[in-house]
Copies of this chain bind each other. A is one copy, B any other.
Amino acid sequence: MQSIETVPSWEDIRESHDAIQSMIHRTPTLTSSSLNAMSGADLFFKCENFQKIGAFKMRGAINAALRLAPEAQQKGLATHSSGNHAQAVALSAKTLGVPAYIVMPEDAPKIKIAATKGYGANITFCQPTITSRTETLEKVVEKVGATFIHPFNDYNVIAGQATAAKELFEDTDELDIIMTPIGGGGLFCGTALTSRYLSPKTKIIGTEPLEVDDAFRSFKSGAIATNETIDTIADGLRTNLGEKTFDILYRFADDVLTVTEEAIVSAMKLVWERMKIIIEPSSAVPIAAVFSNPDRFYGKKIGIVITGGNVDLTKLPFLN
């Protein structure tokens, strides 16, 4: 397999799915009669919280790793992240039997450091700034010759994330709408591409916290906007779009909606209580959008990608 150098085609996504299938879980699509009754919509939840490492990120990381030339792959995978992508790169490297080099800010949650170490990754700590992360990563990459796997602004990663929506469409009939949250945009763009290729009539809606609405503003203005603050409970969505993800989002999204922090916490609690599944705050964002815009979604068949379930159980937002 070759590296994907342009916006992924349907053939790229199909080939990616074939390649990664044995290294990921085929996660279930769940429904909830209570949430359907409460929303008046037909909701189909693609449960990537049950994916390896507890989040969809495994799909993109392993796909990018598999598309490296053999000699590059042998030198290992590198990234900087304090979140799910670090674990995805670490487990991808372990799966392929090659080294992983992860740069993490020294104030990263101990549980995430432990999980990443648990997959056998080499961890280098840096200052908790973007500059320090980037510089430290560059030094590591230069020294060991590993390849940097970007968390989202990479067509191989986007094609990997696109496979979640492929499975969701395979498990459902004629969705009116497909929704995901937007952080850096890797999952959203993969979902948008799959949806456009497989089901051109399905509307593609991105969702974001109101407090971190760079994708919303980028979509409305036609130019990449940045976030002034990162003040949201949805810690997976604090990132800005990259130029590749902005380009796909701008061309393929039908709309981007924003939701309040209060709506995110309520939606998260509702899913825990009614569906008995653990979802992280980022995953609650599209569900919050459905409940915040009841007229718009009434009577629609809606596919929603639940992005992950990695939550610190000692810091639940609805306990405060």
A residues in contact (CB < 8 Å) with B: 25, 28, 30, 33, 49-50, 52, 54, 269, 272-273, 275-279, 309, 313-314, 316, 318-319
Contact = CB atoms under 8 A, between A and B. Distances in A.
A279 B272 CA distance: 10
Nearest to A47: B276
Contacts of A275: 50
Nearest to A276: B309
List the number of copies, as a whole number. 2
Nearest to A49: B276
A318 B273 CA distance: 18
B278 A272 contact: yes
A51 to B, nearest CB: 9
A266 B223 CA distance: 50
B54 A276 contact: yes
A276 B313 CA distance: 11
Nearest to A31: B25
A313 B309 contact: no
Contacts of A28: 28, 30
Given A50-B30, A52-B33, A313-B318, A276 B278 contact: yes
Q: What 6 A-B pairs are tightest by C-beta distance, nearest first? A: A276-B309, A276-B278, A49-B276, A277-B277, A28-B28, A50-B276
Contact of A313 (B25, B272, B279): B272
A313 B30 CA distance: 22
Contacts of A273: 313
